[in-house]
Structures are given as C-alpha cells and as structure tokens.
Structure 1
C-alpha cells in the first residue's frame, strides 16, 4: 500500500487529477494500492487518517507470495 498526501485542496481540479494519475501509475503498475490524504487532514486529524489507513489495509487483499522467493539465509 502507498499512502500519499496532497499539498493544497485549492489546486485546480484538472491539474490535481492529472497529477494524481501520474503519481498513481507507477505504484499501481507494481501492484500497490494507493490512498491519498490532504496535508491538513494529516496535521489536524491524524487519528482519522490512521483509522482510514487501517480500514484500507483490512479491505485490500494480500498479494500472493512471490513465485521466486528469496533463498534461505546463507544460500544466496
């Protein structure tokens, strides 16, 4: 999961949407779930942000194990 924060709710919606899409493309390509919060939410409502993150974690299905796991310690 990738958690990001936005700097200003006052940025134009068009600019914000293209920036969000740009920032989301790479992590999504790597199978990350992306959620975003405004800076002021992080600063003024940390408990709510943490609660939302925990809720998202509970709802996101875990990725299957890698078909190429790391070798045991000392064997790589």
Structure 2
C-alpha cells in the first residue's frame, strides 16, 4: 500500500481538492442555497453557522474523497480514460 502513496501525483491531488471544494461551495452556497438550507432543516434565508465543523468539515470531506479516489486509481492501475470507464 505504501508503494502506491509514493506514486501519487500530489500536485494533481491538491488541484483536485481545490476544484472539488470550490465547486461544492459554488453549488451549495451560490446556485442552490434555498434547497440546501431546506435539506438541512434551516430557514430558507438562514446563514450557515460559523462553527469550526461547518467551516472545516466540507473541505476535509473533499480532501478525503480526493485522496481516496487517487489511492484507489493508483492501486487499481487506472491510468487511462478507457480503463476508468
């Protein structure tokens, strides 16, 4: 397993993490804030709490998703679009 970690493209993982985090922010806060608040059981115009969990949770989840995907792709030797499909 640790052989796989050395073969990862860490710059690509960083770019993927940033893109996923920004896309999530735009999607939930910019495009669909009413539906997002409704799904969380909040008032339609409510602002998100500024607790550490609400500020750091989504980026940490994005990092876990990006890193796990990269490790699985390296371990399964998925290196082309056709093998990914």
Task: Answer 1 or 2: which has greater strand percent.
Answer: 1
Q: Could you say which structure has the higher helix fraction?
A: 2
Larger RCO (CA within 8 A; separation ≥ 6): 2
